[in-house]
Structure 1
Amino acid sequence: MSQSPLNVAPAQQRGWPDALLRAGQFLCDDRRRTLLAAFLLAINFALLVVFLFVSYKGIFHSDSAVRVLLAQEMHDTGRFFPAGWNYVNKDLMILFAQLGVWPLQFFYEGSYTLYAVTGVAVAVLILGSVWWFTGLLGGSTWQRVLALAVLAGGVSAGIEEDIFGQAAYGILLMLSCLITVLTWKSMTALPQRRPVWWALLFVVVALCTWSNPQRAAATYLLPLYCGLAAYLWGGDWKPRLRASVPVVAATVLGFVIGAGLSVWTLTQVNNNAGVGAAHWLDFNAMATNIVHTAHGLVALLGGVPAGGGNVISAPGIYAALRLLAAVILLVLMGRKVVALCRSASPQARFVGGMVAGLAACFLFLHVTTTVADMNDPVSVARYLAPATTLALLLVICSPLQSASRLGALLVVGLSLLLATNSVVRFNPGSMIHPAWQNPQRDALVAELKAMGLQYGYATYWNAGALTVLSGGDVKIRQVEVFNGLPVPMRHLSSDHWYEPEAWQGETFLLLTDTEVASINWGTLTHYAGQPIRQARIGDKQVFVFKQNLALDVPGWSAVLRKPLRINAGPDGSKTVGRWVDLTQSLKAMPGESGYLQFGPYVLLGRGRYSVTFDVAGQADPAQQVVAVVDVVAEGGAQVMGVAEVRGDGTAQHTIEFTLDKPVATLEMRVVANGTGEVTYKGVTLSAR
């Protein structure tokens, strides 16, 4: 019989109620504990499947839809890196959930069902990697099974979304567990078997780095080397150093090769900036972020009560328990990581150091930089989800034999409370809570189908999600409103979507009321004509046009089929100039310097082009340079041509250039320098 602190000695059993006595005797056996934990795991995994197939559909969003949309492009183009796909922040998504959807698309159309099927498969892989990782912690089998039950139960709405719903951070968790175990096997397996583990570790690190070198360094290698440093700490370190040298060599080589592959691949695909580079915060902002980070951590553990809820009620009491549990768990997690790092066991120090390194890295970035957008501390806590989950596993799965009976009961009690996350239906974080449902969006998809609409455009958070929810029957491509016109949002999207050949026939715009107000309808109808139909569906409006907007709205297609004319206007893209209605022009007077025209940030393919600026200057002397016109991309980093505008009244200035490769942010700019009068009427881009 196990000697766990949870065992009940016969002398201590006297006086207990019979039912409690029998329960205590029943739970004294590790096999029975394992069976009970397995039963709870089975229930939670079944609820997880229900969550992925049913509940998550209500909050399914376009970030989640990317796995289906990217897999569809991979299938349609027959390429792992689809031609025209726009990656973001140099993230090539080598190891991502679209790998599960891709083969299924040979048999089924992209749909939410495919998303859910692959979601279950990814969940199994995540739980499997966690099981493998917990084998390093020394706990009993029932503790490891209970840990899986806790994780499968979701822990909180944040963990459910980050680990299993969108699953992006679940994959990071899986790879962290995998790299940790492969590293340990590489150092402790029989000598003749170690080369196999070295090779596996090298391959995984190379693939992770190929996908995103910055993420690989911060999420996998830095924590791994922290773990190795803790592993080497202490006496008799030379044998451990000899065992760790091949690990360092394999991971460094994997990182170098993966980084090289990443750099080369990025020259072959489209990559657009997303959140941009991180910047330091000032001290006051850092201090504020500490509070927001604590808020996010408590939320990840399901400890933030719903505002306005009744305290004296079953949901209120449960929320109080979860809040108290979250605070206690944060303390226990910190203590456990420190205890493992100080342990006499090299294995414990290695695992503790790895988790400490991961947590320290992302807590530091979270608090001190702009990486985390603290306008929503709960949502942005997703960056901390892998480290929080691993620290939670340390608490649940570390051996209880060395703990006090009270401490053991506390850990088990907290674990059981977390494991009930989905079982307690009134818990807002439950995977079967009614709040997950979204009948309004289901009605929106049904109404679009009933209207016979098959191809249209909407802003990001509506486009991809609705496309997948419709089973591909209604394809909606993401756009954004820029200077009053809808323009392609080339962010996790394909350039092909915005070509006229992508769809022939009616197309539509799906907009919220705020987005409707931001459209310059005079300009849009000038290019695309008046909408032939209009309807309101819930809180959104639908505008149907007789043909594909990509045919007529400037800057959508990479192929310049006809000259693109941008006339000056009172509401144009400018920083200086007053509108002269009589001459239909913008005029900058002496002393006014700035842009009379910038943008329109359009995609333009390879070819030979000319840009004609209708701009004239007046100054004394006439040879005075009063403005500069140029054609640039990437905010001016790439210059295709420049011309000077002098004060001699010359009315047109032409720049000719050749593009050897496409540019995504072409601008045609007119910059007055304030030394004379400048009159701007428009600019025309033509193919030569």
Structure 2
Amino acid sequence: MLTSAALVLLLINIGFLCWYLFVGYQAYFHSDSAIKVLLAREIILVGDYFPSDWNYVNKDLFVLFGHTFVIPLLTFLPAGYTAHALSGLVSSMLILSGIWLLTSIMALSMAHRLLVVAIVTAGISGLMAENLFGQVAYGTIVYFSCYCVYFSWRFIEAPQGRKWLWGVALFVVISLAFWSNPQRGLVSYGIPLLVAALIFWLRGRDSNTDYQQSGVRLLMSIVFTGIVIGTLIHLQTLSGVNNVSGAGNAHWLSYDLMLRNFALALRGYFAIFGGLPMAGTPVVSATGFYEAIRLIAALVLLGLIPIAIFRALQQKNGLAFLGLFTLIAFLGAFFFQVTTTVPDMNDSIQSSRYLVPSLVLVMVIVLVQPFNLKKPDLFTVSVAFISVIFATSAYPTYVASDPYSNTNWNTSKQYTSQHTALIEFLAEQNLKYGYGTYWNAGVISVLSNENVLVRQILIDEGIPKPMHLLSSKRWFRPSAWQGETFLLLSQQEATAIDWGHLASYAVKPTRELAFGDYRMYVFAENIAKHLPGWDSR
């Protein structure tokens, strides 16, 4: 009975998730999300998985990422939103399969395992859903973490004749992770795995057999080798592409700012778990009541986390290994969140995304704790409470919220409800290729199914200049487009243009169009032919 109920709940939440990916997320879609589709198209056009003209950020290579699943789709689909959604579905299945595999290393009933996966599938909050399933950037870290822990534990447990299978699988995952980004790989996977294995080995010297102990030592060797090989491949690949510095170029903060970040990180936690009520919402209302329930659930979870971690570490099984890995991964992410310039804590809600992967695993540890339903204690009742709240959060998260609601705190600057209508307007004006600031560039290119391509620019001293972050240098060459081009600017951005200086380069608009807050300045030919520094060859 419980198994059937958990399965039905999982299927319902998968249905909501699919609706979100293919329909609902279009309202949330933004230029960061569009990057994987744009890169996939670039890879096909130039015939290179790591295009030499592409500008990566913080030495962060796209190896096994959402764009990987977009590439085969572009043989029969445009580089549009449908390709993004299908890629997101594959990534979502990887995340859910990773959670499912994690639950298999513990002595859980089928109903319990299905319930845990159903809860993750529900999305929990708009902020978590965006980072796990929408943009998927941090969902990738989640499934890599799940596979690392799963393969590691299976390697430790496996008999001698089958260890090689799990060892090879772990080596491949670690190598791919470090090929992508050694810095993130070290904090997210390398150090947590090595420390977890070391502690597990030290704790088991008296109780584990020599066979198990040698397995743990060999595991550490495999992880270390994967780190070295992946890092070497990363350095070799990076030498053939472009890299732009960004948030990963971290600096230490002052003590006062560390204290500020510590408090703001707690705010981020509540936003991630949907427990941050919107100020000004009436308490005595349906919305106010639901926000109160979510706040209580987030508070209860916060209280359960240290107890669950402590309980997990007392075990000598897969749960203990997961607990060690998760604790180290969380402490690493939290340390950089509080002490460095990696997060922009002026936008503490969005910056909390760095904590999403480790907090998902922390939540899983809470949810998989053994309990007795026949004689429930306070811990069991508390876990049951948050399970019910989170498991039933799919509809509020995926359907009933919008980019400007309390479930998507401080993210509305990335979105605009006018993009679809703006794309139709541009098509009516027969405008096919233009330039705009970042949040109005990639999103239009993808949502228009490549019918209108907008490339990202900065306005520097009154002159438009290419924005090379997550873009291709090829886009800004005169040969990229022949014919009319346009500048797409907001009214405020338009005032930053020095039109006289622009005219000195023989760049003068032939017509000006208006659509809402947007202004489109149309030029008879590609402005890249005349503006200095656009063709960097």
Which TM-score tier does this pair reach, normalised by the shorter chain? over 0.9
Does the 8 A contact of 1:455 with 1:475 survive in 2? yes
The CA distance in 2 between the partners of 1:191 and 1:280, in whole Å, is: 46
Structure 1 runs of 4+ aligned residues shifted over 3 Å read 401-406, 429-432, 434-439
Kindly indicate whether residue 482 of structure 2 is the aligned counterpart of residue 504 of structure 1.
yes
Give 2:422's match in structure 1, choosing from 440, 444, 448: 444
Alignment TM-score, normalising by the size of structure 1: 0.74
* Post-superposition CA distance 1:227-271 (Å, at most 9, x none): 213322153356343111211111111111111111111111111
**1:414 Cα offset (Å):** 1.2
Does the 8 A contact of 1:154 with 1:431 survive in 2? no
Kindly indicate whether residue 294 of structure 2 is the aligned counterpart of residue 325 of structure 1.
no
**1:422 Cα offset (Å):** 2.4
Give 1:420's match in structure 2, choosing from 384, 392, 411: 392
Give 1:351's match in structure 2, choosing from 322, 330, 336: 322
Give 2:249's match in structure 1, choosing from 270, 274, 277: 277
Residues 229, 338 of structure 1: CA spacing in aligned structure 2 closer, same or farther, 3 A cutoff? farther
Does the 8 A contact of 1:230 with 1:349 survive in 2? no
Does the 8 A contact of 1:176 with 1:219 survive in 2? yes
Structure-1 residue corresponding to 2:459 = 481
The CA distance in 1 between the partners of 2:513 and 2:6, in whole Å, is: 53
Does the 8 A contact of 2:24 with 2:398 survive in 1? no
Residues 44, 347 of structure 1: CA spacing in aligned structure 2 closer, same or farther, 3 A cutoff? closer
Letter in 1 for 2:492: T
The CA distance in 1 between the partners of 2:330 and 2:490, in whole Å, is: 40
Does the 8 A contact of 2:126 with 2:401 survive in 1? no
Residues 210, 478 of structure 1: CA spacing in aligned structure 2 closer, same or farther, 3 A cutoff? same
The CA distance in 2 between the partners of 1:330 and 1:338, in whole Å, is: 14
Structure-1 residue corresponding to 2:408 = none
Structure-2 residue corresponding to 1:220 = 189
Structure-1 residue corresponding to 2:401 = 433
Does the 8 A contact of 1:53 with 1:116 survive in 2? yes
The CA distance in 2 between the partners of 1:434 and 1:377, in whole Å, is: 20
Structure-2 residue corresponding to 1:392 = 363
Give 1:126's match in structure 2, choosing from 68, 92, 95: 95
> Which has the larger helix fraction?
2
Asked which structure has the greater CA Rg, the reply is 1
Which stretch has the larger CA shift, 376-385 or 414-423? Answer: 414-423
**1:284 Cα offset (Å):** 1.3
**1:439 Cα offset (Å):** 4.0
**1:288 Cα offset (Å):** 1.1
SS at the partner of 2:395?
Answer: coil
Give 1:257's match in structure 2, choosing from 225, 229, 249: 229
Which stretch has the larger CA shift, 267-276 or 208-217? Answer: 267-276
The CA distance in 2 between the partners of 1:377 and 1:112, in whole Å, is: 29
Letter in 2 for 1:92: L
Give 1:383's match in structure 2, choosing from 341, 350, 354: 354
**1:119 Cα offset (Å):** 0.9
Letter in 2 for 1:389: V
* Post-superposition CA distance 1:353-374 (Å, at most 9, x none): 0110011111111111111111
Kindly indicate whether residue 305 of structure 2 is the aligned counterpart of residue 337 of structure 1.
no
Structure-1 residue corresponding to 2:334 = 363
Structure-2 residue corresponding to 1:297 = 269
The CA distance in 1 between the partners of 2:351 and 2:217, in whole Å, is: 37
**1:319 Cα offset (Å):** 0.3
Structure-2 residue corresponding to 1:16 = none
Residues 361, 495 of structure 1: CA spacing in aligned structure 2 closer, same or farther, 3 A cutoff? same
Letter in 2 for 1:308: G
Higher RCO (C-alpha 8 Å, min separation 6)? 2
The CA distance in 1 between the partners of 2:90 and 2:319, in whole Å, is: 31
Kindly indicate whether residue 129 of structure 2 is the aligned counterpart of residue 151 of structure 1.
no
Does the 8 A contact of 1:157 with 1:430 survive in 2? yes
Give 1:516's match in structure 2, choosing from 494, 510, 522: 494
The CA distance in 2 between the partners of 1:367 and 1:238, in whole Å, is: 41
**1:221 Cα offset (Å):** 0.9
Kindly indicate whether residue 37 of structure 2 is the aligned counterpart of residue 68 of structure 1.
yes
Letter in 1 for 2:524: K
Does the 8 A contact of 1:535 with 1:542 survive in 2? yes
The CA distance in 2 between the partners of 1:276 and 1:391, in whole Å, is: 24
SS at the partner of 2:521?
Answer: strand
The CA distance in 2 between the partners of 1:219 and 1:394, in whole Å, is: 17
Does the 8 A contact of 2:58 with 2:249 survive in 1? no
**1:557 Cα offset (Å):** 0.7
Stretches of structure 2 that go unaligned for 5 or more consecutive residues are 405-414
The CA distance in 2 between the partners of 1:529 and 1:86, in whole Å, is: 27
The CA distance in 2 between the partners of 1:412 and 1:292, in whole Å, is: 28
**1:192 Cα offset (Å):** 0.3
The CA distance in 2 between the partners of 1:202 and 1:471, in whole Å, is: 38
SS at the partner of 2:434?
Answer: strand
Does the 8 A contact of 1:463 with 1:476 survive in 2? yes
Does the 8 A contact of 1:231 with 1:346 survive in 2? no
Kindly indicate whether residue 524 of structure 2 is the aligned counterpart of residue 555 of structure 1.
no
The CA distance in 2 between the partners of 1:546 and 1:334, in whole Å, is: 64
**1:438 Cα offset (Å):** 5.5
The CA distance in 2 between the partners of 1:494 and 1:450, in whole Å, is: 27
Does the 8 A contact of 1:500 with 1:550 survive in 2? yes
SS at the partner of 1:375?
Answer: helix
The CA distance in 2 between the partners of 1:120 and 1:137, in whole Å, is: 27
* Post-superposition CA distance 1:580-633 (Å, at most 9, x none): xxxxxxxxxxxxxxxxxxxxxxxxx3xxxxxxxxxxxxxxxxxxxxxxxxxxxx
* Post-superposition CA distance 1:193-227 (Å, at most 9, x none): 00111111111111111111111111001111232
5 Å-filtered alignment, 1:597-636, equals 605=537
Give 2:434's match in structure 1, choosing from 456, 459, 462: 456
The CA distance in 1 between the partners of 2:104 and 2:519, in whole Å, is: 54
Structure-1 residue corresponding to 2:409 = none
Letter in 1 for 2:132: I
How many residues are matched? 523
Letter in 2 for 1:47: F
> Which has the larger strand fraction?
1
Structure-2 residue corresponding to 1:104 = 73
**1:346 Cα offset (Å):** 3.8
Does the 8 A contact of 1:455 with 1:476 survive in 2? yes
* Post-superposition CA distance 1:40-90 (Å, at most 9, x none): 111111111111111111121111101100000111111111231111111
Letter in 1 for 2:277: P
The CA distance in 2 between the partners of 1:420 and 1:430, in whole Å, is: 11
The CA distance in 1 between the partners of 2:399 and 2:416, in whole Å, is: 14
